[in-house]
Amino acid sequence: MKSYPVNIKPYGEYAILLEWPNEVAEDILCDILDFMEHFRTISGTEWEMVPAYNSLMMVSQGDVLDFDRSKQLINDSLFTRATSRIKRENHLWHIPVCYDAEFGIDLEEVAEHLNISVNTLIEQHTAHQYLVYGIGFLPGFMYLGGLPSSLEIPRRAEPRLHVAKGSVGLAGKQTGIYPQESPGGWNIIGNCPISLFNPKKEEPCLVNVGDKVQFHSIPRAEYDLHKIEAEVGIYKPKRILLHGQDT
């Protein structure tokens, strides 16, 4: 695994921001996740860590940080991990989406903009595996990278005040699922009947940063069935274990 230069700087009294090169790349995200796993093994302090794209926010759960001391600990971890072999466990999740016109309110407009048919759009959207680069904006909102260039489309010029829970959208080089009803400016092409975020659980997010997601198209009847199954707690999304990369 390639190592990258990392910029370390204070971010208030309780947090430190680590910045990798300003690129969106799977190798960089893997480097961040590998660092997190290694740091947890050498640090006796409780930290909350929030990875996203090319950065890592580290928040102390204890006293005000001694930045110089913390920076040295981080640098030691960045150096020593080069000789360690940490294997992360990530998963590939198969997520159902209904692309019916009732849910894909921008589907035809997006297809026209991309100069492809609706069927081709759906086929391309479901053919790829998307890497979870970050979770944010809304609790449980996954930023999924790896969208094929043929599906890249700008955000809507006028965001909507209400985007339905489960809406699957496209924006720029990304796709994602709205975990709850909210305002939003992504182009909506379908809806997912299952919830991937539950604040009542100890681990609210079903999917983690570093996991991958692949969508599969389902008809309306199956959508309704899965929605009921999810509501009563018996729906189990299919997942496949992906072996982590050694550092």
pLDDT of 201 reads: 81
Considering 30, 65, 83, which residue would you say is the last residue of a domain?
83
Q: Are 54 and 23 spatial neighbours (Cβ–Cβ below 8 Å)? A: yes
247: pLDDT confidence band, cut at 50, 70 and 90?
very low
Amino acid 136: pLDDT: 82
Q: What is the pLDDT of residue 161?
A: 95
Query: Any residues with CB less than 8 A from the CB of 107 and at least 6 apart, and which?
Result: 99, 101, 118, 121, 188, 189, 190
Say yes or no: 72 and 137 in one domain.
Answer: no
Q: Pairing relation of β-strands 160-163 and 142-145?
A: unpaired
Region 79-102: what's the mean pLDDT?
A: 82
Q: Is residue 76 part of a domain?
A: yes
Number of independent structural domains in the chain: 2
Three-state DSSP at 84 gives coil
Average pLDDT of the chain, as a whole number: 89
According to the model, what pLDDT value does residue 4 have?
A: 87
pLDDT of residue 204: 81
Task: Indicate whether 97 and 40 sit together in one domain.
Answer: no
The first and second tokens of residue 237, run together, are 């999304």
CATH number at residue 147: 2.40.100.10
Residue 245: the pLDDT is 44
H helix intervals, 43-149: 67-80, 107-114, 118-127
Q: Last residue of some domain: 67, 83, 99? A: 83
Residues 50 and 163 both lie in one domain: no
Reply yes or no on whether the pLDDT at 86 is more than 70.
Answer: no
Q: Out of 25, 54, 83, pick the residue that ends a domain.
A: 83
| Pick from 17-31, 94-108, 191-205, 219-233: least confident | 191-205
Check residue 58 and give its pLDDT: 93
Q: What mean pLDDT comes out for the span 15-42?
A: 89
The answer to whether residue 56 is domain-embedded is yes
Cα separation, 167 vs 187, in Å, equals: 9
Residues 227 and 106 occupy one common structural domain:
yes
| Residue 197, in any domain of the structure | yes
Residue 13 has pLDDT above 80, yes or no: yes
Q: Is the pLDDT of residue 35 over 80?
A: yes
Distance separating alpha carbons of residues 54 and 223, to the nearest angstrom: 35
How far CA 16 is from CA of 50, 70, 205, in Å, comes to 11, 9, 24
Q: What is the CA radius of gyration of the chain?
A: 20
Q: Are residues 143 and 77 part of one domain?
A: no
Looking at residue 77, its pLDDT comes to: 85
Same domain, 93 and 44: no
Query: Does residue 1 fall inside a structural domain?
Result: no
Q: Looking at residue 50, which CATH number applies to its domain?
A: 3.30.1360.40
Q: Is 218 inside a domain boundary?
A: yes
Which pLDDT band holds residue 3 (cuts at 50, 70, 90)?
confident
Under 8 Å between Cβ of 56 and 36: yes
Same domain, residue pair 61 and 113: no
Residue at 130 is within a domain: yes
Instruction: Give the distance between the most distant pair of CA atoms in the chain.
Output: 59
pLDDT greater than 80 at residue 84: no
If asked whether residues 23 and 116 sit together in one domain, one would say: no
Q: Amino acid identity, residue 245?
A: Q
- Among 26-35, 82-91, 220-229, the range with the most confident prediction by mean pLDDT is 220-229
pLDDT digits (tens, 9 = 90+) for 190-243: 999 999 888 888 788 889 999 999 999 999 999 999 999 999 989 988 999 885
Q: Which of 8-12, 70-74, 88-92 has the lowest mean pLDDT?
A: 88-92
The reply to whether 189 and 108 lie within a common domain is yes
Verify that 180 and 64 share a domain, yes or no.
no
- Could you tell me if residue 105 is inside a domain? yes
The predicted pLDDT at position 138 comes to: 80
Q: Does residue 2 sit within a domain?
A: no
Per-residue b/e over 170-206, b at no fewer than 16 CB within 10 Å? Answer: bbeebbbbbbeebebebbbbbbbbbbbbeeeeeeebb
- 40 lies in the same domain as 112: no
Domain that holds residue 41: 7-83
Residues 139 and 230 in one domain: yes
Whole-number Å distance between alpha carbons of 168 and 126: 12
The predicted-structure confidence for 119-144, as pLDDT tens digits, reads as follows 999 999 999 999 999 998 788 899 99
Asked whether the beta carbons of 203 and 222 are under 8 A apart, the reply is no
